[in-house]
Amino acid sequence: MTLCTGKARQTGFFVWGFFVWGFFVWEFFVWGLFVWEFFVWGFFVWEFFVWGFFVWEFCVWGFFV
């Protein structure tokens, strides 16, 4: 275990920290993707309600006409 002294231990710590931070960055991107998907689907749902509202208006006006 003479390799785990001084410089080698410090380098191993930096490599470990690099992987840990990489994992957090990866998680950040994954969650960002889910949030993005959420907004995209929310936009489609919003469009659905807007188009539904226009169809509803069309039916109401058709009823009056």
Smallest CA-to-CA distance from 25 within 37, 36, 17, 14 is with 17
- Tens digit of pLDDT for each residue in 26-65? 999 999 999 999 999 999 999 999 999 999 999 998 888 7
Report how far residue 24's alpha carbon sits from residue 22's, in angstroms, rounded to the nearest whole number.
Answer: 5
pTM reported for the whole predicted model: 0.45
Contact status, residue 4 vs residue 12, Cβ threshold 8 Å:
yes
| Angstrom distance (rounded) from CA 45 to CA 65 | 30
Q: Per-residue pLDDT averaged across 14-29, rounded?
A: 93
- Token pair in block for residue 24: 């957090």
